[in-house]
Structure 1
Amino acid sequence: MGEGWEVRETARGRPAEGSGDGGRHLVFSYGTLRLPRVQLALFGRAVPTRPATLSGFRVEQLTIADPEVVATSGTSSHPILRPSPDPVDHVEGSVLHLSTQQLAAADAYEVEDYRRVRARTTAGEAVWVYVADGNS
């Protein structure tokens, strides 16, 4: 299991208490949530982002079957994170600043193969991240 993260699952679209500051939520994205077309479709605009790194995970590819998600992202091949026992493994991505409504939209967009958990970036910042569900 990756260092610096914990499973803190939530119901889809319902952030856990203490997950944001004043309705703001930090989400580490390593895939399609960073795409302008996806942000426009889900959030109605581009959202503030900044580069970040997450350790203790590796990226694999997942084939998405949901036609709405494929239409929104423009591809059926999406990255998915899995915990890695190798401390050298890390993932480059971005931290997105989302409102509670935007977080709910992101939850609805992510298919059942993903679950949202708490993690810490290499800079020590607490973020939400979508990782592989144990069944996928």
Structure 2
Amino acid sequence: MMMTPRRLGLLGLCLAPFAIAGWFWLTWLSPWTYERPDSLPEVASGEHHLFVYGTLRYAPIRWLVYGRTGDPQPVELHGYQRKGLDLVPSAGDSVEGLMLTVDGEELAHLDRYERLGIRYFRQQVTLSNGQEAWVYRRIEG
């Protein structure tokens, strides 16, 4: 049986979801693509609050990264502005986002997703609701 362009296209459509799922797994969940730098402190157990302003605002991404969508609260982070994938200090500005409440294991999964110590660092900030929370910021350089 000859592979016509139509059959090749159909085969590509059938295989695309598996390729995408494999890429997500390899990038964010596999043990082979991220090694937590030794210089980082261990993630403390217990409850953590996290301010998110990018892809983690979307429930399906949160579910893929740490296994649940949670109950996010809309908040703002004053004194910053969004610049590409980062937040930069900027008096008078604010960034809209969500506050997530996660446990230590979930925070470790989020650290992996954000490539903590390689691509991002975590910083403690005070949100518009008065809550202290972590936020991921880009490592310069």
What's the TM-score, normalizing by structure 1? 0.67
Specify the alignment match of 2:89 in structure 1: 83
- RMSD over aligned CA atoms reads 1.9
Distance in 2, Cα, partners of 1:124 & 1:15: 23
Count, aligned residues? 101
Return the alpha-carbon distance in structure 1 between the equivalents of residues 121 and 77 of structure 2.
16
Residue 15 of structure 1 corresponds to which residue in structure 2?
A: 43
Asked if 1:60 corresponds to 2:83, the answer is: yes
Name the TM-score, length of structure 2 as normaliser: 0.65
* Percent identity of equivalent pairs: 33
Moved over 3 A (4+): none
Mapped to 1, the partners of 2:101 and 2:71 lie a distance apart of 6
Structure with more helix by fraction: 2
More strand by share: 1
Residue 30 of structure 2 aligns with which residue? none
Retained in 2: the 8 A contact 1:82–1:132?
A: no
Which of these residues, 99, 108, 111, is aligned with residue 112 of structure 2? 108
Query: Highest relative contact order (Cα 8 Å, sep 6+), 1 or 2?
Result: 1
- Structure 2: gaps (5+ residues): 1-38
Deviation readout 1:8-35 (Å, 9 max, x if unpaired): xx827x336xxxxx71110000111121
* Partner Cα separation in structure 1 for residue 77 and residue 127 of structure 2: 5
2:33 maps to what in 1? Answer: none
Question: 2:11 — aligned with what?
Answer: none
Aligned match of 2:59 in 36, 52, 67?
Answer: 36
User: Which runs of no fewer than 5 residues in structure 1 stay unpaired?
Assistant: 1-9, 17-21, 62-78
- Pairwise CA distance, 1:89: 1.0
Is the counterpart of residue 126 in structure 1 residue 114 in structure 2? no
